[in-house]
């Protein structure tokens, strides 16, 4: 049987047209954009064209786009900046108080672990709970806002369960209280239309390898009104805020990947949703004691997060891996940890389900025939695992 890849939330294959666009910048057009001669200036012009295009995709200005190594760097950068801005503001009025950040309990670890580090430095963080579908409640957010709140950081769409947060309402509330709003849009960018002006988003992080671009490159959007602090010190790249020679092939690839993603976003989304719903219907109908995690309406079009009662998810992953079917139990960044992820725990699943979680994320190259094959093997392996451990459901 040929390999079936269904873990596109972890990473995607570089699109052939993206690779083709990148290759000349490893060979013929390898010049450093910071050099003074003509060939280098041409490269500089090219990456500025890409910056303009990225800005147009999210309705931003080009000088609000900063190239990064990916979503993790962008999240770290803006959280650090927000605390420094908050300390500057508080020191102006005297009586130092810790800077306060509001986030959710199901964020990616790029946000959560950075927040923990900031707490170790003396800042304060509120972690909003979510409902049984993984969405925050706007009333909970409003109740946490205080004078020292320097940032609200809520993920646009969750990387494990695919739930899309009420971004417009969050933006409206932040506008009312004049608080900067950051969103980790790593799973959303290239998959969902984004308008940072209408949504009142002050900063946004994205990563190219989630939309068929190369790994190791991304971007951070920061609104002009938000003071930005230097994050990597050295040369004058990225207007002096992020030093280091630009990853030119990566930037070229990211631009091309985003162009392709936006060209067929609507058609691709409809096709993914059709496959997603087909798979979910069959699983819930044909495998007893199975359930879907996350919101069914406010959900990424390619995300399927399932839980099987009386099944060990790790064992199920191993069996599927032996069949050369590649899925996950949750975030790739959390694969070394055993037991339910922090996202699944936050949903408060029944104990008999929480260890049997499987995340399947569809890509544009997947077919109904592949999904039928996965369903057949899933049915077999779930039955096999339950039969091998009857004490779990005796």
Residues with a known catalytic role: 333
CA distances from 124 to 290, 357, 380 (A): 39, 32, 48
Which residues lie across from 184 on neighbouring strands?
A: 205
Percent of the chain as helix, strand, coil, to the nearest 5: 45, 15, 40
Distance CA 339, CA 341 (A): 6
- 269 token code pair: 């989304």
- 144 token code pair: 């946490």
Could you give phi then psi for residue 13, rounded to 5 degrees? -70, 140
- DSSP structure class, residue 291: E
**Contact partners, residue 369, CB within 8 Å, separation at least 6:** none
Which residues lie across from 101 on neighbouring strands?
A: 125, 151
CB 207 within 8 A of CB 69: no
Distance CA 175, CA 58 (A): 18
Could you give phi then psi for residue 238, rounded to 5 degrees? 50, 45
Reading phi first (left if > 0) and then psi (alpha if -120 to 50, else beta), residue 274 is in alpha
Q: Are strands 303-308 and 357-361 parallel, antiparallel or unpaired?
A: antiparallel
Sheet-wide strand order for 203-207: 65-68, 218-222, 203-207, 181-184, 149-153, 100-104, 124-128
Could you give phi then psi for residue 313, rounded to 5 degrees? -60, -35
Nearest by Cα to 359 from 300, 294, 306: 306
Distance CA 57, CA 187 (A): 15
- 336 token code pair: 């070394």
């Amino acid at each position: 049987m040929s390999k079936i890849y269904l873990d596109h939330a972890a990473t995607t294959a570089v699109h052939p047209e993206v690779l083709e666009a990148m290759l000349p910048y490893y060979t013929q057009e390898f010049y450093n954009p910071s050099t003074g001669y003509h060939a280098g200036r041409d490269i500089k012009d090219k990456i500025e064209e890409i910056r303009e295009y990225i800005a147009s995709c999210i309705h931003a200005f080009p000088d609000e786009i900063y190239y990064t190594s990916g979503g993790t760097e962008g999240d770290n950068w803006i959280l650090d900046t927000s605390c420094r801005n908050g300390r500057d503001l508080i020191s102006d009025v005297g009586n130092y108080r810790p800077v306060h950040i509001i986030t959710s309990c199901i964020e990616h670890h790029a946000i959560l672990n950075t927040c923990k580090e900031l707490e170790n430095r003396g800042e304060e963080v509120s972690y909003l709970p979510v409902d049984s579908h993984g969405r925050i409640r706007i009333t909970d957010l409003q109740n946490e806002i205080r004078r020292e709140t320097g940032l609200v950081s809520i993920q646009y769409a969750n990387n494990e369960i695919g739930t899309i947060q009420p971004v417009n309402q969050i933006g409206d509330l932040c506008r009312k209280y004049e608080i900067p709003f950051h969103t980790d849009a790593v799973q959303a960018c290239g998959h969902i239309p984004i308008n940072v002006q209408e949504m009142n988003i002050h900063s946004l992080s994205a990563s190219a390898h989630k939309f068929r671009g190369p790994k190791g490159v991304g971007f951070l959007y920061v609104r002009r009104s938000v003071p930005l602090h230097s994050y990597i010190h050295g040369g004058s790249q990225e207007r002096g805020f992020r030093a280091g020679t630009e990853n030119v092939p990566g930037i070229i690839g990211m631009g091309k990947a985003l162009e392709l993603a936006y060209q067929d976003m609507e058609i691709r989304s409809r096709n993914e949703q059709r496959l997603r719903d087909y798979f979910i219907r069959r699983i819930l109908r044909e495998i007893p004691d199975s359930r879907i995690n996350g919101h069914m309406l406010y959900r990424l079009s390619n995300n399927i997060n399932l839980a099987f009662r009386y099944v060990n998810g790790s064992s199920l992953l191993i069996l599927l891996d032996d069949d050369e079917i590649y899925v996950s139990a949750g975030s790739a960044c959390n694969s070394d940890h055993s037991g339910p992820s922090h996202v699944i725990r936050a949903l408060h699943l029944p104990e008999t389900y929480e260890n049997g979680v499987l995340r399947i994320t569809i890509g544009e190259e997947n077919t109904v025939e592949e999904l039928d094959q996965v369903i057949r093997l899933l049915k077999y392996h779930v039955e096999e695992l339950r039969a091998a451990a009857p004490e779990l459901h005796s």
